[in-house]
Structure 1
Amino acid sequence: MSLTRRSTLGLMAGAVFAPSIVRAQSFPSKVITLVVPYPAGGPTDAIARFVAQDMAVAFGHNVVVDNRAGASGAVGTRAVAHAEPDGYTIVFGNNQTHGNNMFLLKEPGYDAVKDFAPLAGVGAFEHAFVVRKDLPAKNIQELIALAKADPGKLNYGSTGVGSGSHLAMELFMQRTGIKMTHVPFRGAAPLVQEIVAGRIDIANSTLPSVLEQINAGTLRALAIASPERNPRAKDIPTLREQGVNNADADSWAAFFAPVKTPDAVLDTLSKAIIASLNKPETREAILKLGFTLKVRDPAAFKPYHAQEIATWKQIITEAGVKPE
């Protein structure tokens, strides 16, 4: 090949790749949209807004939180999967949007792995085993014994079929060999109300949804389904401390961008998000929500994500939960 032809090809290649390089170097140059696929006002929304505020300061451009709820988080997540992969539309997802929906929805409209690039793992809402205050079980082993004495007699509540609280309890029952009867509710508020009223025996709920009632003594906590105790509920032992292993069930959360977003842009977004999550004021605000921070960069989050998907796919299959 002649020198002239090589030079021409080099110029052509430069013309092809230069725009993406320029875009990456100048990113961001306008408003970024951070999609939260749930209604405004909840803890997930609050975390997103804390981070968005820090990112806006760091970038010098607004980061607008866009709540797009519906279909177990699939509506907003799908919108980001099909958005322009330029870094200006990202999503704050979780174990439902970027995990269980793959197996619980017939048509989620996206692939949680193939369509997204992780920006940062944030941590998780831990699950707590809570029981009505007069249930004759003071710890997890006593609960297991009570359930085995009369399989199916105890009932447990969840926030809906296929929800985190449902699948977390399915995991627990599979690991301990017990059987209880499932009673689904439309959200955490009615579930907690029924446990406090004594009409539901037990639930495996996210800690923020039951912490107020635990502190008030209107229900009792038996265990935290996480490797370590929660700093806001230090008196509640973990499942592992009580002899139950491989039954932890954290409701994790993470930030994602469309998969074809340029690497340099992904890196810029990732660093800004991680810097926010490591900021003392932001960490304190998030911890007050009952959320446990465990910040992971993309390289650390990918294997964690893969393991979570594999675990819950197995649990969903063995529990016989059918896609809707």
Structure 2
Amino acid sequence: MSLTRRSTLGLVAGAVFAPAIVRAQSYPSKPITLVVPYPAGGPTDAIARFVAQDLSTSIGQNVLVDNRAGASGAVGTRAVAHGAADGHTFIFGNNQTHGNNMFLLKDPGYDAVKDFAPVAGVGAFEHAFVVRNDLPAKTIKELIALAKADPGKLNYGSTGVGSGSHLAMELFMQRTGIKMTHVPFRGAAPLVQEIIGGRIDIANSTLPSVLEQINAGTLRAIALASPERNPRAKDIPTLREQGVSDADADSWAAFFAPAATPAPVLDTLSKAVLASLAKPAIAEQILKLGFTLKIRDPAAFRPYHQQEIATWEKIIREAGVKPE
């Protein structure tokens, strides 16, 4: 190859890659918005704010949390999917926004896989089986026996049709062959109060939403739907310990950016978020919420995400839950 041709190719390559290099070097050039597709005040919002506060120091720009709630998280998620893909807007999503909404909403307005690139997997809110204190079942085996003795008599509460607490219980019933009657609520607070009041028999709720009541003794936990016990609730045995396999139902959470975000920018953002999550002070704040950290970089999170989507699509279909 002639010197002239090599020089020409070099100039072309430089022209192609220079914009990406410039974008990476100048990023971030303005404040960053972290969208939380739920109202302020919950554990999801709290985790996002812990990370945003740390990033504001480490990344050189303010990171502002923007709560955009609505439509099971679809409103905020849709806005990010179709927003600017320059690394200055990303989202703290979960198994609902970036998984189940694809099968539970007739038109979520985005594709959880095609429209997003993972930034960092964070971990999961584990689900705990909690029962009213006077329910004559102190173990999962006793609960199964009680349910089989009179199918449909026991009722279980959830935070809404298609919610994690609903689908987690559907998974459990499929694995154990039992039938219980579903009673949906608008959120965790009224559900918890109805269990305490003895009007709901059981729920498979995220641990942070019931941990305070478990510790106070106002309701009783009989199992954790997770591979391992939680260090904040060491006395709660797992389903696996009690002979029930393939019924774990963690509600995972992760950071995502629009799919078209330039790779160098995405890499910079990802490394910054992963570094924040790895800091002991940040990790301790998150763990106090009852959240289990399982930090994954984009390469590790991507196959996990795809497997989770496939698993819950099957559960939703078999449960007969129709898109709304």
Q: Write the deviation string for residues 184-221 of structure 1: whole angstroms up to 9, x where unpaired.
A: 00000110010000000000001111111111111111
In the alignment, what sits opposite 2:150? 150
Say if 2:264 is the partner of 1:264: yes
Gaps of 5+ in 1: none
Once the two structures are TM-superposed, the CA of residue 10 in structure 1 deviates from its matched residue by: 4.6
Which aligned pairs between 1:1-324 and structure 2 lie closer than 5 A? 7-8=7-8, 10-324=10-324
Secondary structure of the equivalent of 2:71?
coil
SS at 1:110's partner residue?
A: coil
Q: Residues 171-194 of structure 1: CA distance to partner in whole angstroms, max 9, x if unpaired?
A: 000000000000000000110010
**d(CA) in 2 for partners of 1:20, 1:267:** 12
Q: CA deviation at 1:20?
A: 2.3
How many residues get paired? 324
- Partner SS state of residue 205, structure 1: strand
Report the Cα offset of residue 4 of structure 1: 5.1
In structure 2, C-alpha distance between the alignment counterparts of 1:159 and 1:84, rounded to whole Å? 33
Shift of 1:3: 6.2
Structure 1 residue runs of 4+, over 6 Å off? none
Q: Deviations over 1:239-288 (max 9, x none)?
A: 00000000000111000011111111111111111111110110111111
Aligned alpha-carbon RMSD (Å) = 1.3
Instruction: Report SS of the residue matched to 2:57.
Output: helix
Residue 237 of structure 1 aligns to a residue in which SS? coil
TM-score, length of structure 2 as denominator length: 0.97
Residues 122 and 253 in structure 2, CA contact (< 8 A), matched pair in contact too: yes
Distance 1:190 1:65 in 2: 27
Q: Secondary structure of 1:72's partner?
A: helix
Contact 2:129 2:221 in 1 (8 A): yes
For 1:68, the aligned partner's letter is: R
**How many Å separate the matches in 1 of 2:184 and 2:59?**
44
**What is the CA–CA distance in structure 2 between the aligned matches of 1:252 and 1:62, rounded to whole Å?**
26
Alpha-carbon distance, 1:26 to partner: 2.0
Equivalent-residue separation in structure 1 for 2:215 and 2:7 (angstroms) = 73
- Output the CA distance in 2 between the equivalents of 1:84 and 1:3: 41
SS at 1:87 equivalent: coil
Cα deviation 1:55-99 (Å, max 9, x = unaligned) = 111111101111111110011111111112111110000000000
Over residues 19-46 of structure 1, what are the superposed CA-to-partner deviations in whole Å (9 max), with x where a residue is unaligned? 2221112211211111111111111111
Alpha-carbon deviation of 1:11?
A: 3.1
SS of the residue corresponding to residue 72 of structure 2 reads: coil
Instruction: Give, as a single letter, the amino acid of the residue that structure 2 aligns with 1:66.
Output: D
Structure 2 segments unaligned to the other structure (5+ residues):
none
Range with bigger deviation, 2-11 or 32-41 = 2-11
Q: Secondary structure at the match of 1:153?
A: coil
Q: What letter matches 2:74 in structure 1?
A: A
State the secondary structure of the residue aligned to 1:157. strand
Distance 1:259 1:170 in 2: 32
Contact residue 20 and residue 264 of structure 2 kept, 8 A? no
- Give the drift of 1:7: 4.5
Distance apart, 1:16 and its partner CA: 4.1
SS at match of 1:315: helix
Worse-matched range after superposition: 182-191 or 8-17: 8-17
